[in-house]
Amino acid sequence: MFHSLKAAGALQKDYEKSCERDLRDMFEKANMRRHWKKYGKFYPTSFQTAIDAILHEAGQKLGGERAEKPKR
């Protein structure tokens, strides 16, 4: 629902940022990543892209495993 409202431009910017933070926090949990790995393909493509970007930015793989962070 949040993603659809955001795409339609129907959210105030401060509320949009708050919801994005909530989504990011939810996907810090291994259970949510496992759920996403199993059921993510049933969500709209644009939402899949958004969640996959969140996981990538956080350096996480699906299924609760941490991706290796690049060495600097």
> Domain-by-domain residue ranges, the chain?
2-64
Give 13-64 pLDDT, tens digit per residue. 888 888 888 888 998 899 998 999 999 999 999 889 988 888 888 777 554 4
- CB distance 48 to 4 below 8 Å: no
pLDDT at 40: 93
